[in-house]
Amino acid sequence: QVDVLPLPGADAATPSFLLFLMRDKTAERSIEKMRTDFVANASHELRTPLASLIGFIETLQGPARNDVAAREKFLNIMREQAGRMSRLIDDLLSLSRIETKPRIDADERADLAVILSSICDAMEKRAAEAGLAFSLQLDTESGVVNGNHDELAQVFANLAENAVKYAGGGEKVVLGVRPVDREPALLEAYVQDFGRGIPAEHVPRLTERFYRVEDGAASKAAGTGLGLSIVRNILQRHGTRLQVHSEAGIGTVFSIRLRKASQ
Ligand code: ADP
């Protein structure tokens, strides 16, 4: 929130002052709207699994009290719903932690090669279960950039998770770092999958909070719709953006340009 005070000696009714005041009010209103939308969305997302949990508890206390088979089935569903709530709360906390942080410091360092290779190791088992092989492609001598290690690790973990969730059948996922044409000060890290791709009309909205592409396979995958908004917020703190290149039936490349660390 910004307080607008007239400059000493300035007339509060001058047009330039009024314009400034109006702009400021508009910005305030839109931030306020974003906040109330966010609270409404978050409550809705939490209420859905909670309502289902309450429903199953009532059934287990009533009609299904002595039905052993039904009890087992309902308890499994309840565990899934509770897991969903817990993921949502984790994501909401991550988002609010990041949103309150200022831009990263100029002396923070992160090594993209280290981050990507540890993600490859961590994902290997889950990826194999989904029929995917993870590989690492390092086309630079050094992957050291100006960035926060933990936050960038979260960015690439979210992108790698999505590749496993949504790009099954694509055989492989490549994580890599490469130089940027005509921009020697930058490095580009990417996560490429060969899955079904994302229809063009959804691409501009991917990083909105709670946005999920509605199609049969995607809506079945466990997700909160917050993963890519966390990515966007972290990248904003790093002064960069998520780039997406996707083609239906061919796959998706998410890439991020970061400034090389000065030696
Ligand atoms: P979540 O995965 O929790 O739903 P995200 O914000 O991480 O939320 O992703 C938003 C949506 O973008 C997903 O629901 C999915 O439909 C789509 N998506 C993300 N990554 C991919 C991918 N690699 N291939 C296809 N669709 C994807």
Q: Please state, in angstroms and rounded to a whole number, the distance separating the CA atoms of residues 235 and 229.
A: 10
Tell me the Cα Rg of the chain. Answer: 23
Check whether 9 has a pLDDT greater than 50: no
Token digits of residue 5: 């005070």
**What is the C-alpha to C-alpha distance for residues 27 and 218, in angstroms, rounded to an integer?**
35
Strands 172-179 and 186-193: antiparallel
Does ligand 1 come within 6 angstroms of the Cβ of 70?
A: no
Mutate to test the pocket of ligand 1, among 154, 201, 228 (most ligand atoms within 8 A of CB): 228
At residue 177, what is the residue type?
V
Reply yes or no on whether the pLDDT at 220 is more than 90. Answer: no
What is the β-pairing status of strands 144-146 and 242-247?
unpaired
> How big is the CA angle at 55 (ends 53 and 58), to the nearest 5 degrees?
110
- Mean pLDDT over residues 8-33, rounded? 61
pLDDT at 215: 64
Q: Where are the alpha helices (DSSP H) in 193-243?
A: 216-220, 227-237
CA distance 45 to 25: 30
DSSP 6: P
Mean pLDDT is lowest, of 44-48, 69-73, 151-155, 213-217, for 213-217
Question: Ligand 1 atom 8: the closest Cα is on which residue?
Answer: 225
Q: What is the pLDDT of residues 188-197, one digit of tens each?
A: 999 999 998 9
Q: Which atom of ligand 1 is found nearest the CA of 167?
A: 24
C-beta separation of 218 from 198 below 8 A:
no
Residue 40 pLDDT more than 60?
Answer: yes
pTM of the complete model: 0.82
Calculate the dihedral angle through the C-alpha atoms of 248, 251, 254, 257, rounding to the nearest 10 degrees.
-100
Tens of pLDDT, residue by residue over 77-115, are 999 999 999 999 999 999 888 888 889 999 999 999 999
58 CA distance to ligand 1 middle (Å): 34
* pLDDT above 50 (res 47): yes
213 CB less than 6 Å from ligand 1? Answer: yes
Q: Which residue CA neighbors atom 11 of ligand 1 most closely?
A: 212
Q: Is the CB of 91 under 6 A from ligand 1?
A: no
Helix axis angle, 68-99 to 15-61, nearest 10°: 160
- 223 CA: nearest ligand 1 atom: 3
